[in-house]
Structure 1
């Protein structure tokens, strides 16, 4: 794999390895959040709505800050941003371990961790990886990085379950804080400031924003990614409690989250490959239609460890396959110079969806005593997202064709 002319690094494999490992740690810790719901609920006496609100705040801050953090990475380099994110991540988890109220959880697990993750998850890291490889390999690179997040879920969710059972939720937060701090070392591997290709006119930051905001496909991507965020946050936060409410052992919920991560390693890699070979918008639509079918089938059969396992495997295959496809479409349509900024805006909508997926599902549970309303909304939104992605104009903007002809 050769380096693209605009890449600030010499060895793309180092970038990919460090990028995938960063996301492995960051997303693995984050995706274990649902396992902390019950022990925190029992010890602190906070309801599921309160815990769901903390995770919702985390998702909202991650979304609101992401475009600005993405712009910093485009300007100053992903390595510096990731190192700063690692430090804040560790601090947030340390303070979360000392929380005694719902407000404390909102400030630490919510605000601080959400802010930290803007620098150590997909937007910043995929931006660095995409600039390190040739255009025809960018989908694969994004798929590899995304698979890292899935591997983290597979690896760290069972670890979290074991640590919580052996030491308690507070001590587990402290152990994870030390792991988050290690990201600062890995950030060296993605360091470097993005550079413009020689001989090509420089597009300004403002011009990039105006170009994207005037393109209908950009807003359709935003709408589809909103739905993805809703699904990921709802299932990741509430699935273990939902299964426990149905009489299943808590270990089944932990195993389900781990299986989602395991099968999405395969899914992310394959969908990353598909991003380089097929029309991305059609594959995206297929993912969302597939999610709707899987959720409807899961709710229509008797609940059991087997049905939970099959649901986790099927949903896991589609879990984060939207990331390499969505980021790939942004890069394909608008180029990669401001990829972290533009994908950061799209990711903002993902996190707005995640806010409602985590919080509104808990609110619906408190109001009705079940998650039925949340599941129904998830299926309807999946169908809507499939329809939104289908008509996207995915041809590169005219500017890229003009620059390529120079």
Structure 2
């Protein structure tokens, strides 16, 4: 039986669907475990005598290393294939979780949760997987396919975060980390689904890497994409790391915090798919501007409404719908403007901006809390950044860059 039937009816080959689904599950596992780290703030902090600023700095360092490595890992995946990169990332992830589970102090936790996990994430998440998917799906289906893979990260948050809370309720936090490490091991066989060396480029694929980097870095639209994604990173790291603790501080139960993270994941399954689908049909920059603006509105309403379990869960649901819809739209714009030959490398640089924002969101929230006993200033900063990101996306030029007709391959 050929690819012509079910897959062809959707415009995608069987190989494309295999890569999309395998990539989605890889992201489900890698992001699901990572999104559970906020649940460990209180038990780890109490046992190891680590304050929130220190824990926030550890998660911030993880985010920063994740971003710093991403352009290099992405370029390697562009050249050699996503499968090898995913296997390597999974092995480092396993080692990082094991090291964190045996940590005796903040230094050990920094090496495990911060350094090794940060390095590992660059090989098992969106940029590497989306680079592989972007080369195998047709342009008109690309943003939708990106949305399906991105939804995998949310499915992981929906499934893994409550499971992690259950593990923490039943087991010591160290044992819980070893169980989560076992889940990460599943990425190794799944990497076969995204394996394969990328096809050799031709003149239509775009510039050699050095020239492509120079072109992108000199393009105002690329700079604006980086600015917007910086804000996205700030938002998701702050909320993902500190929302459970914020809700506990305000008198709500640990279960509400875990359920809030799970709802963010659940609603982002729908959100990632819909924002990706809408991006395949309309203006990606317009959708990005709308998404960031809606994030700001969601935070303002959350702060104005009296806090209760219901209001916390409604906020988590709304913010979840807006959580990672930026990923298919932003990566879709990178591919649309610059092509797919170096999608993982160029997407990796944009993702670095995301992770710089994530570093500041996770760390500064801890600094603000330890200094003032409140997250209020960070919530208000998040609103201002949302407006800034919305305005930054509006001037982006969505047309492909104009290049000479023929460019010699490397």
Give TM-score scaled by structure 2 length: 0.95
Q: Return the alpha-carbon distance in structure 2 between the equivalents of residues 313 and 275 of structure 1.
A: 21
Assess if the C-alpha contact under 8 Å between 1:2 and 1:134 holds in 2.
Answer: no
2:179 aligned to which of 153, 164, 175? 175
1:336 corresponding residue in structure 2: 340
Assess if the C-alpha contact under 8 Å between 2:161 and 2:262 holds in 1.
Answer: yes
2:228 corresponding residue in structure 1: 224
State the shift of 1:224 in Å.
Answer: 0.4
State the shift of 1:192 in Å.
Answer: 1.1
Q: Return the alpha-carbon distance in structure 1 between the equivalents of residues 204 and 356 of structure 2.
A: 36
Q: Return the alpha-carbon distance in structure 2 between the equivalents of residues 202 and 192 of structure 1.
A: 20
Q: Return the alpha-carbon distance in structure 2 between the equivalents of residues 160 and 133 of structure 1.
A: 34
State the shift of 1:211 in Å.
Answer: 1.0
Q: Return the alpha-carbon distance in structure 2 between the equivalents of residues 204 and 195 of structure 1.
A: 14
Q: Which runs of 5+ in 2 are unaligned?
A: 1-6
Assess if the C-alpha contact under 8 Å between 1:143 and 1:268 holds in 2.
Answer: yes
1:270 aligned to which of 274, 278, 287? 274
Q: Return the alpha-carbon distance in structure 2 between the equivalents of residues 96 and 132 of structure 1.
A: 37
2:195 aligned to which of 172, 191, 204? 191
2:130 corresponding residue in structure 1: 126
2:4 corresponding residue in structure 1: none
Q: Return the alpha-carbon distance in structure 2 between the equivalents of residues 57 and 23 of structure 1.
A: 20
Q: Return the alpha-carbon distance in structure 2 between the equivalents of residues 388 and 235 of structure 1.
A: 22
When residues 224 and 203 of structure 1 are mapped into structure 2, their CA distance, relative to the original with a 3 A threshold, is: same
Give TM-score scaled by structure 1 length: 0.96
When residues 295 and 63 of structure 1 are mapped into structure 2, their CA distance, relative to the original with a 3 A threshold, is: same
1:44 corresponding residue in structure 2: 48
Q: Return the alpha-carbon distance in structure 1 between the equivalents of residues 207 and 232 of structure 2.
A: 30
Q: Return the alpha-carbon distance in structure 1 between the equivalents of residues 117 and 377 of structure 2.
A: 28
Q: Return the alpha-carbon distance in structure 2 between the equivalents of residues 294 and 30 of structure 1.
A: 24
Q: Return the alpha-carbon distance in structure 2 between the equivalents of residues 349 and 196 of structure 1.
A: 29
Assess if the C-alpha contact under 8 Å between 2:157 and 2:262 holds in 1.
Answer: yes
Cα RMSD for the two superposed structures: 1.7
1:74 aligned to which of 75, 78, 81? 78
Assess if the C-alpha contact under 8 Å between 2:32 and 2:157 holds in 1.
Answer: yes
Aligned runs of 1:236-275 on 2, under 5 Å?
Answer: 236-275=240-279
SS of match in other structure, 1:272: helix
1:290 corresponding residue in structure 2: 294
1:114 corresponding residue in structure 2: 118
Bigger CA drift: 171-180 or 195-204? Answer: 195-204
When residues 206 and 296 of structure 1 are mapped into structure 2, their CA distance, relative to the original with a 3 A threshold, is: same
Assess if the C-alpha contact under 8 Å between 1:194 and 1:337 holds in 2.
Answer: no
Q: Return the alpha-carbon distance in structure 1 between the equivalents of residues 41 and 204 of structure 2.
A: 52
State the shift of 1:200 in Å.
Answer: 3.6
Assess if the C-alpha contact under 8 Å between 2:70 and 2:351 holds in 1.
Answer: yes
Q: Which runs of 5+ in 1 are unaligned?
A: none
State the shift of 1:195 in Å.
Answer: 1.7
State the shift of 1:184 in Å.
Answer: 1.0
Aligned runs of 1:140-179 on 2, under 5 Å?
Answer: 140-179=144-183
2:319 corresponding residue in structure 1: 315
Q: Return the alpha-carbon distance in structure 1 between the equivalents of residues 64 and 364 of structure 2.
A: 13
